[in-house]
Structure 1
């Protein structure tokens, strides 16, 4: 990261940060994408099982990983304020915290997995696949959390190409493991959807090993001494990170859990509907990697400028990111509309599943437009470390406004299962509008505060 003075320089720096993050996010999501596609080719029951498992795992992972994401604005602001000596300690404590979080969720999962699955009205084979998909996936939870913590540290320094390189190395590994373990190739057992979970866990270990090795060997990162002179866990440091991370994590949880809850309500329908719903969500989520990546890039750029007290530059980055995200979401909507049949056939050869998937994709066009507007706003507010109000906005938008309206439309109108997708559109739109007003208020407050400081300054 470095200070920019012109609009052209800001555009160039934002794209320099963004493009590797985008490739990294697409690579990470492609692991789940290939899990779903390859499990679907093993049969509808395997696809439905992976769908249930993924939708239980996703909100848990993203919520807890959101806590780890607190390291990104912390490091970005420390670097912007030229307090780089404090970065090493923050990252080390973040590693401790990520391991503790992984162990915690592993222990909780051991006790609650069966009760949660019993809530779903699903066939026995689908339940079996979902359960053991999650169990095998859990074998990689510690390296996954540590990897994401270290990746957030590297990205916050502006070295986003390094994370990109790690993912490009590990993605082929995931595909090979999937091929071996789902279909039973090269002497491995044919585990179906369960094999997809084990393949992902093994890939997480590979990714963590590579990123640790890079931090230890690359001079730009080694100078921070992340793996030298370890100090014991510090509750004070944990509290600082949790103060920022918990609101981030819960805000993400409230958003992603609404998708999981919609899948839960979908289980009253047949296996074909569940499979089609998962296929459409899976591809729409892949498209979402662009606004999500812009969000991460904005957290870094805005956090750096806020740390340096350059609020006008932070505001310029904000509007650049929002414009880019909305524009790319419009293009993505056109792609989904024009290529819906081709997308649906990636997931299944069953004609009934294909037609249902195409119908769900139509609704996905609209909710990803709302996501394209809301995601960069979340990244901007994280860059300011403004997370508490965002948490409340997420809860109200998704759970008070969105989901209840979807339940009513699904059960009391002819929309049926598509009513739940309307809840996604309503919730995401409400959230985006609320975040916009919060950003405008915060930017005005920061600018007024700086103006008052300048007026009262006596040389």
Structure 2
């Protein structure tokens, strides 16, 4: 029980911080969905832009998440200067990944017509996508600093900064979407400006906190310096495969948005509402995964196989209980939850069925997310990446297309395929963690590898 309690204490600020990030997207969705004009069309456009953005940005975001278990491992080994070295390397990696991510998003925007969306959807999507793409730089830099503080188990600072930024984002949405005084109404584009502003705020405040707070000075000594490329290489070697795990999952859900557009604009809007709701609980699960990964990283530094297992068991128990509660809330309260997003009855009717399936896959979504976090704590990424490719692109996408487009299930068929992919991923990733934890050789896990 002590490990469960310590995991909960570590996870709660991370979960709240993760939810804060997700609530920025929720705020955009809800506030755009309440627009007086083009609400459903703007919801669909926001979903398309968000799918492109996160499908590509997720590689960098998850790559940077590897920093926290690496820092926790170094701290457990009493190598404080290595923690500071990891932060320096993470900042350099974050800038590199941001440049590459923005370039790829630009290429996708250039070839947007290949996605087969309507002309109105294109006109709404591309300007919004352009402005949120710029937010990748502050977003990744914030992620580098947060990985450092989370790895030191100082998780509250990231939470507080994120929640303040959430409030800023909501206030700016009110002003910029519908206009205020001399500020013109900018609709969906104004929501993008609000998001960009909030993320710049997050990066600046987080950097100032870490670099000026005397608590962190011991970690920034000049001792034990690597050649410049050594830690960057290590982060990328572990982080990029981890990032592609997220890519294959997000790409699957992104393609679901595209397929919904093939059915109808209404189905696409309903999907955005339902997936946004499910994503809130998923982000909470990734917070638990981060806490579990940090504890596994610490156990790795301590060379304690027993603590690796106890850390994993605690994280998975918490996830099963939490996601079970969320599934019940989604299923029994789905009508009122959906009404919080939109008042359009045609969208509500479709979303009701989709949220039912969202409630079903909650448990499996949480287990697979936490298992991935635990595997990152073990710095095990290659086999898990192969598992995600199989689960999402061999199982999920083909079934979603077959049931949703080829058969008569429509939007529900697409979600049936998504559920199948999460069941597959949860089963195989959990198996991989316990198999790897039994056989891991501690002496092989060095920075020089």
TM-score normalised per structure 2: 0.94
State the number of aligned residues. Answer: 439
How far residue 109 of structure 1 moved from its aligned partner, in angstroms, is: 2.7
Match of 1:333 among 323, 327, 347: 327
| Native 8 Å contact 1:96 1:233 kept in 2 | no
Equivalent residue, structure 2, for 1:419 = 413
| Native 8 Å contact 1:291 1:375 kept in 2 | yes
Check if 1:439 corresponds to 2:433.
Answer: yes
Match of 1:119 among 106, 114, 137: 114
Q: How does 1:42-441 map to 2 (within 5 A)?
A: 42=35, 43-115=39-111, 117-225=112-220, 234-441=228-435
Deviations 1:125-163 (Å, cap 9, x if unpaired)? 221111111101122221111001111111011000111
Taking the aligned partners of 1:284 and 1:146, their CA distance within structure 2 comes to 27
Deviations 1:292-335 (Å, cap 9, x if unpaired)? 11101001011111111011011011111101101111111110
Match of 2:17 among 12, 24, 28: 24
How far residue 247 of structure 1 moved from its aligned partner, in angstroms, is: 0.8
Equivalent residue, structure 2, for 1:4 = none
Equivalent residue, structure 2, for 1:454 = none
Deviations 1:72-118 (Å, cap 9, x if unpaired)? 22111111122221111121111011111111222333333120x21
How far residue 119 of structure 1 moved from its aligned partner, in angstroms, is: 2.1
| Native 8 Å contact 2:403 2:410 kept in 1 | yes
Taking the aligned partners of 1:123 and 1:313, their CA distance within structure 2 comes to 54
Deviations 1:46-81 (Å, cap 9, x if unpaired)? 111111111111111112211122212211111112
Moved beyond 3 Å, runs of 4+: none
List alignment gaps of at least 5 residues for structure 1.
1-6, 451-459
Equivalent residue, structure 2, for 1:3 = none
Taking the aligned partners of 2:341 and 2:8, their CA distance within structure 1 comes to 32
Task: Select between 133-142 and 241-250 the one with higher mean Cα deviation.
Answer: 133-142
Taking the aligned partners of 2:65 and 2:76, their CA distance within structure 1 comes to 18
Taking the aligned partners of 1:149 and 1:363, their CA distance within structure 2 comes to 35
Taking the aligned partners of 1:50 and 1:26, their CA distance within structure 2 comes to 19
How far residue 232 of structure 1 moved from its aligned partner, in angstroms, is: 11
| Native 8 Å contact 1:170 1:203 kept in 2 | yes
TM-score normalised per structure 1: 0.92
Q: RMSD of aligned C-alpha atoms?
A: 1.9
Check if 1:38 corresponds to 2:11.
Answer: no
Task: Select between 185-194 and 95-104 the one with higher mean Cα deviation.
Answer: 185-194
Instruction: Summarize the Cα distance change of 1:216–1:315 in structure 2 as closer, same or farther, 3 Å threshold.
Output: same
Check if 1:13 corresponds to 2:6.
Answer: yes
List alignment gaps of at least 5 residues for structure 2.
443-449
Task: Select between 281-290 and 405-414 the one with higher mean Cα deviation.
Answer: 405-414
- Say which SS state the counterpart of residue 138 (structure 1) adopts: helix
Taking the aligned partners of 1:381 and 1:307, their CA distance within structure 2 comes to 15
| Native 8 Å contact 1:120 1:267 kept in 2 | no
Taking the aligned partners of 1:365 and 1:404, their CA distance within structure 2 comes to 22
Taking the aligned partners of 1:332 and 1:281, their CA distance within structure 2 comes to 14
Task: Select between 59-68 and 355-364 the one with higher mean Cα deviation.
Answer: 59-68
How far residue 235 of structure 1 moved from its aligned partner, in angstroms, is: 2.6
- Say which SS state the counterpart of residue 188 (structure 1) adopts: coil
